[in-house]
Chain A
Amino acid sequence: GIQVEQSPPDLILQEGANSTLRCNFSDSVNNLQWFHQNPWGQLINLFYIPSGTKQNGRLSATTVATERYSLLYISSSQTTDSGVYFCAVEGGANSKLTFGKGITLSVRP
């Protein structure tokens, strides 16, 4: 099956700093999503981005499908950005998402 690797595993930032989170995947995909898991466990959709670039406020994402990677950019980070960020991909004719291990982001005031 598809392998998903996220890096770095942990990231500590000062408030106001920018960061880049990376997701590599091993095969072609028809769905790639970035999630932020809140402290209560819910996965919050950030982006649906199987290819191309999208922006939503301070967050943006780019997926280069031909090179099998995606990047999530967080600018001017805030303490509320802290948490775990997951990349998940779907390949083939089904709705099975394969998740990476997540990136734990800590933003310090």
Chain B
Amino acid sequence: KAGVTQTPRYLIKTRGQQVTLSCSPISGHRSVSWYQQTPGQGLQFLFEYFSETQRNKGNFPGRFSGRQFSNSRSEMNVSTLELGDSALYLCASSLGAGETQYFGPGTRLLVL
């Protein structure tokens, strides 16, 4: 089976712009979660989608949003980018709660 894929791998944006990141889960996985990793805050949970429904959301401002499509692919969007949004964004997929989560290679976002 193909692993979790994320596109793009690298992005450079300027403050105030918006960005959309994409994640394709492992075939058959219906749960997709997003995480942000920064040197200061470590790995933090953003949100989780299961069968197109957001089941859980982390403590991030409303500028961070996401969605999941009927084929389980997911996108996350960050609007009005701030310098502090520079981070590695990781996506994980699984069969569901309590199951092994598999991570994609991540998208490195740099906000200038």
Contact = CB atoms under 8 A, between A and B. Distances in A.
Nearest to A31: B98
Contact of A96 (B37, B58, B103): B58
B104 A97 contact: no
A23 to B, nearest CB: 14
Interface in A45-99: 45, 48, 50, 86, 88, 90, 92-99
B90 interface: yes
Given A86-B43, A97-B45, A97-B92, A43 B103 contact: yes
Interface of B: 31, 33, 35, 37, 42-45, 48, 50, 55-56, 58, 88, 90, 92, 94, 96-106, 108
Interface of A: 30-31, 33, 35, 40-43, 45, 48, 50, 86, 88, 90, 92-99, 101-102
